[in-house]
Amino acid sequence: MTEQLTPSDPVRIGGHRLLARLGAGGMGVVYLGRAETGELAAVKVIRPEYAAETDFRARFRREAAAARRVRSPWVVPVTGADPEAEAPWLATAFVPGPALAEAVARCGPLPERGTRILGKILARALAAVHAAGLVHRDVKPGNVLLAVDGPRLIDFGIARSPEETALTSPDAVVGTPGFLAPEQAQGREVGPAADVFALGCVLAYAATGRPPFGTGAVDALLYRTVHDDPDLAEVPDGVRDVVLRCLAKDPAARPTAAELDEALVEDAPEGTAEWLPDEVVRLIADRSAATLALPDIDATAATAPEPGRAAGRRRFLALGAGGAVLLAAGGGAALWAGLRDDGSPGPAARRWILGVQADLSGPQQAAGRAQERGVRLAVEQFNARERRPFEVEAVVADDRGDPAEAERAARRLAADRDVLAVVGSTGDKTTGAALGPYDERRVPQLTVSSAQGVYGTASRRSLLQTVPTYGTTSLPAALMLKAAGVRRLGMVIDRAAGEFAWEEGHLAYRTVGLVEIEVHPRVVPRSAASPVAVLADLLDWEPDAVYYAGGPRRGADLARGLADRGFTGVRILGYPAAGPEFTARAGAAADGWEVYAPYIDPGAKPVAKFAAAFRERYGRAPGRWAAEAYDVTRMVLDRLTEAAGGGGRPARAELFELLAKGTYRGLVREYAFQDGYLQGVEMFHYRAADGRFGYAGPADTGE
């Protein structure tokens, strides 16, 4: 929870406008601050009297250096620091959620599955800490924050390399009694195994609401930690063995963080909070809303605005994946319309550029090329108008389907101040990699074919998904299964295909259950040679239908396996697997498989004129996703035209707002958004026959 600033608190620290207090202790104060970019940060400021102590300043300097060395989405990153300032400070990304300690105290222990997922994600966080050559040394419920897109490990105040000399006296205990290892309790040298022990204590606490060595006086806690067995009687069976291994007295007997990640076999739904109880999710949401509902800070700023910039400029703050977007810091619409991304004047001497980021030479190059050509066709048609208000240039970046190259391409496009928006990228991983650079520069990013619901811990302040997410494919599938009289569905979720398969399969499982069809899910581990391994168990259950969420090659193996066993029931294939690779590998076993996809067939009547123009321009029929890219580009051009009529060239953030709040009827579907997600679930039905997927018309989505 936040507290108001006191009269003695500073107004700014290190470029951060301070908004509230997050907490205070004997050594310093932690503030909620806003950087000049508009991002919120937790700013830890050391009191001047302690900063004068050489040892204390050295410890703080080490904390900043240690935190910067860790690279993990589950460790709160450092965004700035100045250990040499008169009042040393350290800023980290702000997580507007409660600590695990508060969540358990207010809402009760986590369920078994939630505890496993918490452990798995925190094990990954510790693996990153240890890979950086550090030991955290204070893993406890108070240093685990729960956010809308997953937990975060915080506070490297006492982290150090194992070989470094402690800054405290030899017999001092560093850490939190009740959540530290025996060797730590005895003041001996500690390594990564001490963090694993502490994580075991955290998981026991999360599962029961009590530390495994009880509570009470510090001396008693330390004695029990060193000599007694932990009390794990109330820890669920599915967690107890793993926790017991973590709490081994001998450090060598404990698993490493990476081994703990492997031992906790629960699939961690990264980027969501669905694994937490409803009460905790509500607490996170309430805390986020309360924290981000901040006053207009520009109106109270003590310093004058920079030349060329108005004090009322808006800032956009996102709560996380799928969260509501809040507008903090006001300003009239007319003022906002007059602002520019870089404070420069209007459009007279500047180009109007639409960026295109796509996989043009990598694993998804067919879709990437189709999208690029769809964008170019729309731009060329716009520029051919006699009374066009401006001329648009398409600038293309090939990210080759590689996340590292995608991030570099995004930074290049975003750095060009004339790029007003970007269509792309083609795949999920490249879209996620590009998200940060576009967010930083407020470049509207419109993905045509990336249907992932969340992108790790990345924010969505500038992203518009113009395609239904993977889970929505299950709605027409569920309606079809119900109409076909299916009562028992075998669900195969193949983890080897990546995040989309889990997302698609998990949501399909829930959706199909809503139409009163019994579902028998089978998750195929990444390490399994083939999904055929689960068929014996699946068919023993005698399903009427089978749904496969995974990739084309292994999906084809499953199709052949079902055919070999004489299965003739309804078969549904997740659309990412539907293509030539599946039909070629499956052969005759591919016939009859049903697919529900968000892309329209190029021969469908609604896109006939587009297909003819495409064929005339490029000498071939359009491929998948070309019509959708054409639609999205025309939507952007429509909004740019609207902005030009009302005052000239728009700022990027203004264009994003026009896109996000408007509705546009394209050739393929209607485009309207909520929190960056496409509203509506228009889908298309395909059926495999004679070695190809034939178009069967628009899917029934119940609308």
2: closest CA among 276, 328, 289? 289
Let me know if 138 is a catalytic residue: yes
Query: What are the pLDDT digits (tens) for 73-97?
Result: 899 888 888 888 888 888 988 988 8
Highest mean pLDDT among 312-321, 402-411, 430-439: 402-411
Q: Are strands 392-398 and 352-358 parallel, antiparallel or unpaired?
A: parallel
The CATH H-level (homologous superfamily) assignment of domain 12-276 is: Transferase(Phosphotransferase) domain 1 (1.10.510.10)
CATH for the stretch 352-468+605-668: 3.40.50.2300
- Check pLDDT > 90 for residue 464: yes
Instruction: Please give the pLDDT value at position 53.
Output: 77
Q: Which two tokens mark 492?
A: 């195969």
Residue whose token pair is 């101040």: 417
**471-597+685-698 and 12-276 share a CATH fold:** no
476: closest CA among 680, 688, 690, 692? 680
Rounded mean pLDDT, 424-453: 91
Instruction: Please give the pLDDT value at position 458.
Output: 53
- Check pLDDT > 80 for residue 331: no
- Check pLDDT > 50 for residue 368: yes
Give the start-to-end residue ranges of the domains of the chain. Answer: 12-276, 285-338, 352-468+605-668, 471-597+685-698
Q: What is the dihedral of CA 59, 60, 63, 69, to 10 degrees?
A: -110
Instruction: Please give the pLDDT value at position 39.
Output: 84
471-597+685-698 folds as: Rossmann fold (3.40.50)
- Check pLDDT > 50 for residue 316: no
pLDDT band at 304 (very low <50, low <70, confident <90, very high): very low
Instruction: Please give the pLDDT value at position 148.
Output: 81
Rounded mean pLDDT, 34-44: 86
Instruction: Please give the pLDDT value at position 85.
Output: 85
Query: What are the pLDDT digits (tens) for 161-190?
Result: 444 433 333 334 456 888 989 999 888 888
Strand spans (E) along 129-283? 144-147, 150-153
| CA torsion through residues 263, 280, 94, 203, sign | negative
Q: What is the CA radius of gyration of the chain?
A: 28
Alpha-carbon span 547 to 474, nearest angstrom: 10
Cβ distance 505 to 493 under 8 Å? Answer: yes
Query: What are the pLDDT digits (tens) for 501-557?
Result: 878 887 888 888 888 999 999 988 878 889 998 999 999 999 999 999 999 999 999
Kindly state the percentage of the chain with pLDDT values over 90. Answer: 52
- Check pLDDT > 50 for residue 31: yes
pLDDT band at 418 (very low <50, low <70, confident <90, very high): very high
Rounded mean pLDDT, 483-508: 88
- Catalytic-role residue among 9, 55, 82, 138: 138
Q: Return phi, psi of residue 191, to 5°.
A: -130, -165
Instruction: Please give the pLDDT value at position 292.
Output: 53
Rounded mean pLDDT, 698-703: 82
Helix (H, G, I), strand (E, B) or coil at 3: strand
Rounded mean pLDDT, 312-332: 30
Q: State the amino acid at position 289 in one-letter form.
A: A
336: closest CA among 315, 354, 317? 315
pLDDT band at 160 (very low <50, low <70, confident <90, very high): very low
Query: What are the pLDDT digits (tens) for 562-611?
Result: 999 999 999 999 999 999 999 999 999 999 999 999 999 999 999 999 99
| Residue 150 φ/ψ region, left for φ over 0, alpha for ψ in the -120 to 50 degree band, beta for the rest | left
Q: In this predicted structure, which of 336-345, 551-560, 657-666 has the lowest mean pLDDT?
A: 336-345
Rounded mean pLDDT, 2-12: 82
| CA torsion through residues 477, 478, 483, 488, sign | positive
Cross-strand pairs, 13: 16
Rounded mean pLDDT, 474-491: 94
Rounded mean pLDDT, 678-684: 91
Instruction: Please give the pLDDT value at position 518.
Output: 94
| Residue 327 φ/ψ region, left for φ over 0, alpha for ψ in the -120 to 50 degree band, beta for the rest | beta
Instruction: Please give the pLDDT value at position 174.
Output: 55
In angstroms, the first-to-last Cα distance of the chain is 43
Instruction: Please give the pLDDT value at position 270.
Output: 60
Cβ distance 645 to 389 under 8 Å? Answer: yes
- Check pLDDT > 90 for residue 490: yes
| Reported pTM | 0.56
pLDDT band at 360 (very low <50, low <70, confident <90, very high): very high
